[in-house]
């Protein structure tokens, strides 16, 4: 199922800071079709099959961004990671704080879609990772 999330645009930003669409649960054939249409500037780069998982990578050379989709054995998307330049950290952090419910260090929840969003800061890039939220242990 393809779930549409309202577009997130920051004033003065050439592209949405966080994903415009939620691809979690979407089949990889549909992701291949939707991403170039819905994520301006992103083009298909690579697809890799590793045992029962597969990965599809899209890149936006102009924005120097990468999107990596992870799929289960049935070809359904289980995780989306989007990599950004480090200079966008403050903008990304602000957008996550406004858009989602803060759940702890570098972790936010989208309660409506049952997603968890993690912000990972590295020396060379920042990653925003989105996946289905795991139920709390009983």
- pLDDT in the model for residue 18: 61
- pLDDT in the model for residue 138: 65
Say which range, 31-35, 62-66, 126-130, has the weakest mean pLDDT: 62-66
- pLDDT in the model for residue 4: 32
- Give pLDDT tens digits for 61-89: 888 899 999 999 999 999 999 999 999 99
For the chain, the average pLDDT equals 85
Across the range 3-27, mean pLDDT stands at 53
Q: Assess contact for 91 and 13: CB atoms under 8 A.
A: yes
Q: Assess contact for 24 and 4: CB atoms under 8 A.
A: no
Q: How confident is the model at residue 45 (pLDDT cuts 50, 70, 90)?
A: very high
- pLDDT in the model for residue 15: 44
Q: What is the 3-state secondary structure (H, E, C) of the chain?
A: CCEECCCCCCCCCCCCCCCCEECCCCEHHHHHHHHHHHCCCCEEEEEEEECCEEEEEEEECCCCEEEEEEECCCCEEEEEEEEECHHHHHHHHHHHHHHCEEEECCEEEECCCCEEEEEEECCCCEEEEEEECCCCCC
- pLDDT in the model for residue 33: 94
CA distance linking residue 67 with residue 55, whole number of Å: 10
Q: Assess contact for 23 and 31: CB atoms under 8 A.
A: yes
CA distance linking residue 69 with residue 11, whole number of Å: 27
- pLDDT in the model for residue 134: 79
Across the range 83-110, mean pLDDT stands at 93
């Amino acid at each position: 199922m393809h779930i549409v999330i309202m577009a997130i645009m920051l004033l003065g930003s050439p592209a949405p800071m966080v994903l415009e669409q939620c691809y979690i649960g979407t089949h990889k054939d549909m992701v291949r079709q939707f991403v170039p249409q819905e994520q301006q500037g992103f083009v298909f780069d690579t697809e890799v099959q590793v045992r029962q998982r597969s990965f599809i990578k899209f890149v936006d050379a102009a924005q120097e961004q990468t999107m990596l989709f992870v799929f289960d054995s049935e070809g359904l998307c289980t995780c989306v990671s989007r990599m950004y330049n480090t200079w966008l950290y403050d903008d990304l952090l602000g957008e996550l704080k406004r858009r989602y419910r803060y759940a702890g260090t570098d972790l936010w929840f989208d309660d409506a879609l049952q997603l968890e969003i993690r912000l990972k800061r590295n020396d060379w890039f920042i990653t925003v990772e989105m996946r289905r939220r795991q139920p709390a242990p009983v």
